[in-house]
A and B are shown apart, each in its own frame.
Chain A
Amino acid sequence: MLSANAAYALSFVFSLAVAWFFAPLLYPHMGEAGAPSRLGSFATLAAMTFSLLGIASLAGYAGPERTGGILAYALTFAIGAAALWLLPEWSGIAAVGALVVLVAAPTVLMRLAEHHSAAGGRRIAAVCALLASRLHPSKPMRFYAAVLGARATRSTEAEIAAYTSLKVDATGQLHMALDGLIAFARDDWIGASSTTAAALPP
């Protein structure tokens, strides 16, 4: 089974190949007067193809980021398509810029947040997650950023207060996970064990 990084890389290479081979079919105006440069057209078509692949891969995904991810890819595709016809000379920059800002940067920042969180670098993890949630303000991203922000506080009481405020909007497993994090912050391992055991599937 492919890892997420390998799947991204393959999708990207496939998008470049599709844009390279099918550009004349996908965008017949390429090379005409007033049309974007070949490089601009190629970049726009590659970004749009990558977005379509992203939407297709997320369509069969059941995780919490499904809707937000599809929206980000759809927006990138729409920006690329609109730029190709409305701002042809700038379409490459617009499409690639949208892909970077809406998809690549939040993904990289979230990976960095996970990396630093696992390493114990709570503050830098919180900063990365906050930036990612600003670029991709879906509910799961904002929640994750808020949790990492709470973990980055120096005092236990402030951390618990932050988790408690998050519990107001949380339901089901998220609510139990926050109870587990509160117990964890208190160094209460009996509480942490009972809440995490309840939250985890058997």
Chain B
Amino acid sequence: MKFYEIRALGELGRVEEMIAAFAAWQPQLRGRDLDLCRLMVLAFAGRHAGARALLQQRLGLVRPERAAYWSFVAANSAGVADGSRDALARHARECDDEAFRRAAERHLAAPLPAAAPTWSPASAAAIAEIERAVGRSRAG
């Protein structure tokens, strides 16, 4: 349920709230669940380098279409246009999971933000802590 709540806040664009919810729940999360929540926070916060590092290392188990989804969310949230759009568009066309396709198409239709997002000091600190934890301290 925590996973869904964090994702819901991110999908709704309430990223500061999502980061606060993650920070509050982090002590109760472990292992893979913790890494998945970290991935969502990094992706919706636009930290695409950290999200990609997490997907390539600790979350290497994530299937390619889901990895493409989170890579695109991270890049798009950061205002970066990269190859992740094409990858997600291809997966959305080929995937037979209706829910995934619908979510992917919604993100693909969203406009690229004009500038990279800025965060409150508390959120920036929480993001930095996640990046330290996943071994990426540099900005996405």
Contact = CB atoms under 8 A, between A and B. Distances in A.
Interface of A: 3, 114-115, 118-122, 154-156, 159, 173, 177, 180-181, 184-185, 187, 189-190, 192-193, 196-197, 199-200
A118 B36 contact: yes
Given A115-B32, A119-B62, A121-B63, A193 B98 contact: no
A187 B103 contact: yes
B96 interface: yes
A200 B98 contact: no
B94 interface: no
B61 A197 contact: no
A103 to B, nearest CB: 22
B9 A193 contact: yes
Interface centre among B11, B66, B96, B102 (most CB of A within 10 A): B11
Contacts, number: 65
A187 B106 contact: yes
Interface of A, secondary structure class, is helix
A118 to B, nearest CB: 5
B6 to A, nearest CB: 9
Given A115-B61, A122-B97, A159-B99, A189 B1 contact: no
B4 A184 contact: yes
Contacts of A177: 1
A199 B1 contact: yes
A31 to B, nearest CB: 45
Interface residues of B, number: 28
Given A119-B66, A120-B62, A120-B65, A197 B99 contact: no
B99 A187 contact: yes
Interface in B92-110: 96-100, 102-103, 106
B114 interface: no
B8 A196 contact: yes
Given A189-B7, A200-B1, 17 more contacts: A3-B30, A3-B31, A114-B32, A119-B66, A120-B65, A154-B96, A154-B98, A173-B1, A177-B1, A180-B1, A180-B4, A184-B8, A189-B8, A189-B11, A193-B9, A193-B12, A196-B1
16 contacts: A3-B30, A118-B33, A118-B61, A120-B65, A121-B63, A154-B97, A155-B98, A159-B99, A187-B102, A192-B8, A193-B8, A193-B9, A193-B12, A196-B8, A199-B1, A200-B1
Contacts of B106: 187
